[in-house]
């Protein structure tokens, strides 16, 4: 059973996030001040900063929900699965249940719109990429453990994860600049691109 205090806090937290995302996706990130967000929730600016370390954190909070689930998903993949396959399955599986997770806070449509705001706002894109890097480091450790390797000694876990991350980034970008914003489109793109990585590295591009 939750205490009243905790429920109140959670409500303010959610309200701030909703207000922030709403404003970011309509007015734009740069043109939204922290005061705007705080005012929308009828809270002091200082309080906003007690819930989120900064404007950036609020803007990336939704992504964070998805990302943490992804890491957990990889951890729970069967140990006999090959590294790249485990990563792939974890993402695809993640898309499936994305709806419920997001919808608990904001409409999925808002999440997708926010995603595009991140991709198109330099400072947010930068923060997003940095976060991805942290995730990749965590994933490398997970893979290394699965395979019984030492991350510091064997570069293969980090290399594999970096490649996977690279492909995902290309996929996301392609998806976010395309016309079909459905999850199904994302899924298809992911599978297709992952299949093409190997060939793209070794094969001669002109003979195909």
By CB under 7 A, tell whether 1 contacts DNA. no
Sign of the torsion angle spanned by Cα atoms 74, 84, 170, 196 = negative
By CB under 7 A, tell whether 46 contacts DNA. yes
Q: Pick one of DNA, its own copies, none as the site partner of residue 40 (Cβ within 5 to 8 A by kind).
A: none
Which residue number, 87 or 110, has a Cβ lying nearer to its own copies? Answer: 87
Least distance CB 104 / its own copies (angstroms): 28
By CB under 8 A, tell whether 64 contacts its own copies. no
Question: For residues 97-156, which are near its own copies according to CB under 8 A?
Answer: 122, 125-127, 129-130, 133, 147-149, 154-156
Among 50, 130, 169, 173, binds DNA (CB under 7 A): 50
- Which residue reads 């007690």 in tokens? 50
Taking each helix axis from N to C terminus, what angle separates 122-147 and 108-120, rounded to the nearest 10 degrees? Answer: 110
Which of the stretches 33-41, 110-118, 132-140, 162-170 binds DNA when contact is defined by CB under 7 A? 33-41
By CB under 8 A, tell whether 163 contacts its own copies. yes
Among 141, 174, 176, 188, binds its own copies (CB under 8 A): 174
Which residue number, 23 or 167, has a Cβ lying nearer to its own copies? Answer: 167
By CB under 8 A, tell whether 72 contacts its own copies. no
Nearest-angstrom CA–CA distance, 113 and 31: 16
Which residue number, 25 or 171, has a Cβ lying nearer to its own copies? Answer: 171
Taking each helix axis from N to C terminus, what angle separates 108-120 and 156-177, rounded to the nearest 10 degrees? Answer: 100
Q: What are phi and psi for residue 57, nearest 5 degrees?
A: -60, -40
Which of the stretches 34-42, 43-51, 80-88, 89-97 binds its own copies when contact is defined by CB under 8 A? 80-88
Q: How many residues bind DNA (CB under 7 A)?
A: 24
- Strand, coil or helix: 207: coil
Q: Which residues of 35-65 are buried (b: 16+ CB within 10 A; e: fewer)?
A: eebbebbebeeeebeebbeebbebbbbbbeb
Tell me 25's DSSP state.
H
In sequence order, what are the residues at sequence separation of 6 or more whose Cβ sits closer than 8 angstroms to the Cβ of residue 165? Answer: 132, 133, 135, 136
By CB under 7 A, tell whether 206 contacts DNA. no
Q: Interface residues with DNA (CB under 7 A)?
A: 3-6, 8-9, 12, 32-35, 42-47, 49-51, 53-56
């Amino acid at each position: 059973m939750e205490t009243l205090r905790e429920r109140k806090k959670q409500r303010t937290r959610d309200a701030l996030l909703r207000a922030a995302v709403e404003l970011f996706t309509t007015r734009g990130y740069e043109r939204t001040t922290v005061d705007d967000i705080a005012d929308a929730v009828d809270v002091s600016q200082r309080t906003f900063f007690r819930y989120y370390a900064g404007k950036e954190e609020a803007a990336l909070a939704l992504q964070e929900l998805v990302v943490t689930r992804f890491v957990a998903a990889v951890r729970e993949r069967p140990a006999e699965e090959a590294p790249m396959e485990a990563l792939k399955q974890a993402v695809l599986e993640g898309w499936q249940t994305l709806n419920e997770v997001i919808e608990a806070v904001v409409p999925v449509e808002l999440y997708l719109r926010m995603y595009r705001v991140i991709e198109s706002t330099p400072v947010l894109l930068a923060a997003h990429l940095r976060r991805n890097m942290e995730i990749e480091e965590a994933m490398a450790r997970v893979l290394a453990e699965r395979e019984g390797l030492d991350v510091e000694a064997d570069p293969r876990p980090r290399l594999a994860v970096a490649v996977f991350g690279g492909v995902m980034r290309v996929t996301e970008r392609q998806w976010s600049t395309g016309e079909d914003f459905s999850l199904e489109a994302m899924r298809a793109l992911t599978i297709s691109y992952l299949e093409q990585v190997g060939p793209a590295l070794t094969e001669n591009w002109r003979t195909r």
